[in-house]
A and B are shown apart, each in its own frame.
Chain A
Amino acid sequence: MTTTPTTLIETEDRRQYRATRRRDFAVDLSMALATILAALAIGFLVMLATGNDPVRAYEVMLTGPLDRSFRVGRWLEDATTLTLLGLSVAIPFRARQISLGAESQVYAGALAAATVAIFLPLPPVVAVIVPMAAAAAAGAGMGLVPGAMKARLGANEIVATLMLNAIVVRVYDYLVNGPLKESGSSAVHSKSVQQDSALTPLSDWFGVPLGRANIGFGVMLLTAVALWLLITRTPLGYRIRMTGANPDFAAYGGIRVPRVIEWSFVIGGAVAGLAGAHLVQGAYGRLEPGLAGSLAFEGIVVALLARNNPLVVVVAGLFYSYLRAGGDIMEQQTDVGTEIVVVIQAVIVLLVTAQALPNLLKRRIARRQVGVR
């Protein structure tokens, strides 16, 4: 920030700009809350219609995850992976690239982390960092393929990422069932990672049983802040935002759009790779079939709900994992299936993407303000 003297008009302009920003933010926030409430209401009706007791179900779902410390741990562990995956798509989304490739990236990351953490003997501390770096690199590589195809050739990134997902998931499945399977074990999984490579469980720090939650949670928070700084405070972030807002204008202004698109994919891929490392070194301690479940796609939901703002992604990720954790507990204690959470989530997505609604509201508020003046 330079401190050049500003004219009165500039100050006035800035004041108006801030007021608009604040108003838009207030509308966004209230829309997000309204969306969540509406989705929960629809979930309520669905449960009612299917002959369940929605009040009891919601009670269990919304208080359950905080009941016992290990449930809190489950929530935090789930939130770590989910938020990292949400962050990984938020970056390409900011450049208006519809990358659906988080699945391929997280599995590539998991494979890389596991290979290093199982087979490469390393001194302590380094043994934690090197597999994570390998995972990030593998994820970034997986992101580079569709990114370069889109940026250099104009190939459709949706198809490219979906194909890459299909390939990597199958290769992963082959490796876990074949070469990397622990010999002599009847269940399908790899050998466990070396002791030094495991991410320290949070239980060790807080002295209460927190399940599989680990310092990956801190890594996730740091990543979110780093990405927020990247997007809002660096030239690359500016280029990404400009490319997303209007690629033609960005190119006109001298931004090399293809390069920016590539970077957005690579950065997103690296973050998804970290999610893979968290699964291997933290949550499971080894490779298991279908490690990431449906988290890759749910990360997209989290990013959308947060409108691709890295800091808000953390909040959305925590919120959404809370619902997931609560849904599981609800299923154990009531007759309601945990799938209702997926239904609620789907309704959230549909409401969030119905952009006509908030824009209508914003325009109306703006018009009223102009009228006042």
Chain B
Amino acid sequence: MSSVLDVVLSSAFLAAALRIATPYLLAALGGLVAERAGISNIALEGQMLSAACTGALVAGYSGSVTVGALCGVAVATLLGVLLAALRLELGADAIIAGIGLNLLASGGTAYAVYSLLDDKGGTSGLKSGSLPTVTLPGVENVPVLGDVVSGQNMVTWLAFLAAPFVAWLFYRTRFGFHLRAVGEMPDAAASVGIAVRRVQYTGLALSGALAGLAGVFLSMGYVSFFVRDMTAGRGFIALAAVFLGGMRPWGVFLAALGFGAAEALAVQLGSLDVPPQLVSTIPYAMTLVALALYAWRRKRRGRVVPTAASL
């Protein structure tokens, strides 16, 4: 047990936890924005994957990491808008359209990489570079804190800034108020003159952009290449964090951080005699239990149980 504690308290673990939590944080906040706008964004996974692939490919061919990252985020944003358009213009079910977009991303990225590079696995043959890390001059030399905080990737910083940003957006701006009103009850929002569709389009675009940033981090953060299906279900986990966090910015922040920490723990414990696969199930099992507890509490309070999006 003490060896587990040693691992948890080590600065390497804490730094890894922040790093691993980054994509979860960004994608979960993206999912939160969409959810509060009234359209479930189950396509987070596909948006991340497309952004990761586009980022690595564009960066590789243009030679500019910045251009690559921007293009990656742009593609994910477009996918967010596409999801909104399918829902709002064509009456598609958001969940099924999301599944479709995930498939499109999975097939499209693999097809693009294979067509361009003749490589089934990914873009490791392409030199694409990675996004810079941020070193904090003063803090760098402080023991523990310096190791944990300094030298993190710039996207990690953005991820941690994204939570207060989303909280500010939701509760301090007119747009956030409109967004929540639209998500809560679109008809009521429309009746007081809120442009429901425009708010939902903007919300889904923002959602896609955040997921895109998460994707760019995967292929251009610590590695500098895209691997086929490299998101590996992170988008779905982020979606779970949205619900686990009670659909509030700081709740979602904590849930995503928890997922990141648990995964980091699973990696670090790999050196001990604990099977890493079993350790990595802990956050999901916890989510399942938490989901049941929340629902049970809500039911006991007698509130109307919202039925999930329909088919």
Residues on A facing B (Cβ under 8 Å): 46, 50-52, 93, 96, 98, 145, 149, 153-160, 162-167, 170-171, 173-174, 177-178, 244, 247, 294, 297, 300-301, 304, 337, 339-343, 345-347, 349-350, 352-357, 359
- In angstroms, Cα B266 to Cα A117, docked, is 32
* Given A154-B299, A162-B237, 14 more pairs with CB closer than 8 A: A93-B311, A98-B95, A98-B309, A159-B287, A173-B277, A177-B277, A339-B110, A340-B107, A342-B107, A343-B107, A346-B101, A349-B96, A350-B86, A352-B96
* 17 cross-chain CB contacts under 8 A: A50-B111, A50-B112, A153-B295, A158-B40, A164-B284, A166-B233, A170-B278, A297-B103, A337-B120, A339-B111, A342-B103, A349-B103, A350-B92, A353-B93, A353-B96, A356-B89, A356-B91
Assess A153 versus B110: contact at CB under 8 Å? Given A98-B308, A304-B96: no
Q: How far in angstroms is the closest Cβ of chain B from A240? A: 13
The 8 Å CB contact of B281, one of A155, A167, A356, is A167
Assess A170 versus B280: contact at CB under 8 Å? Given A301-B103, A343-B108: yes
Note all chain A residues with C-beta closer than 8 A to B298. 154
The 8 Å CB contact of B239, one of A52, A162, A177, is A162
- Residue on A with the closest CB to B92? A353
B100 and A353 form a contact (CB under 8 A): yes
Note all chain A residues with C-beta closer than 8 A to B91. 354-356, 359
B311 and A96 form a contact (CB under 8 A): yes
Note all chain A residues with C-beta closer than 8 A to B107. 339-343, 345-346
B308 and A153 form a contact (CB under 8 A): no
Note all chain A residues with C-beta closer than 8 A to B307. 247
* Residues of B within 8 A of A (CB-CB), count: 56
Q: Mark contacts of B77-111 with chain A using CB atoms, 8 A cut-off: 1 yes-contact digit, 0 otherwise.
A: 00000000010011111011101111110111011
Assess A356 versus B239: contact at CB under 8 Å? Given A156-B291, A171-B277: no
The answer to whether B177 has its CB under 8 Å from any CB of chain A is: no
Assess A349 versus B86: contact at CB under 8 Å? Given A171-B278, A355-B93: no
- Residue on A with the closest CB to B94? A353
B236 and A170 form a contact (CB under 8 A): no
The answer to whether B275 has its CB under 8 Å from any CB of chain A is: yes
Residue in B91, B100, B236, B309 whose Cβ sees the most chain A Cβ within 10 Å? B100
A337 and B111 form a contact (CB under 8 A): yes
- Residue on B with the closest CB to A93? B311
| Prevailing SS type, chain B contact patch | helix
Note all chain A residues with C-beta closer than 8 A to B40. 158
Note all chain A residues with C-beta closer than 8 A to B311. 93, 96, 98, 244
Q: How far in angstroms is the closest Cβ of chain A from B264? A: 16
Note all chain A residues with C-beta closer than 8 A to B114. 337, 339
Q: How far in angstroms is the closest Cβ of chain B from A316? A: 15
- In angstroms, Cα B84 to Cα A196, docked, is 53
Listed from nearest, the 4 A-B pairs whose CB atoms lie closest are: A342-B107, A154-B305, A349-B100, A346-B104
Assess A300 versus B292: contact at CB under 8 Å? Given A174-B275, A353-B86: no
A167 and B285 form a contact (CB under 8 A): yes
- In angstroms, Cα B11 to Cα A283, docked, is 47
Q: How far in angstroms is the closest Cβ of chain A from B82? A: 9
* Segment 102-132 of B: residues with Cβ below 8 Å from A: 102-104, 106-108, 110-112, 114-115, 120
- In angstroms, Cα B244 to Cα A158, docked, is 13
Note all chain B residues with C-beta closer than 8 A to A347. 100, 104
- Residue on B with the closest CB to A153? B295
Note all chain B residues with C-beta closer than 8 A to A304. 96
- In angstroms, Cα B282 to Cα A174, docked, is 14
The answer to whether B201 has its CB under 8 Å from any CB of chain A is: no
The 8 Å CB contact of A171, one of B101, B239, B281, B287, is B281
B90 and A354 form a contact (CB under 8 A): yes
- In angstroms, Cα B99 to Cα A158, docked, is 12
- In angstroms, Cα B285 to Cα A167, docked, is 7
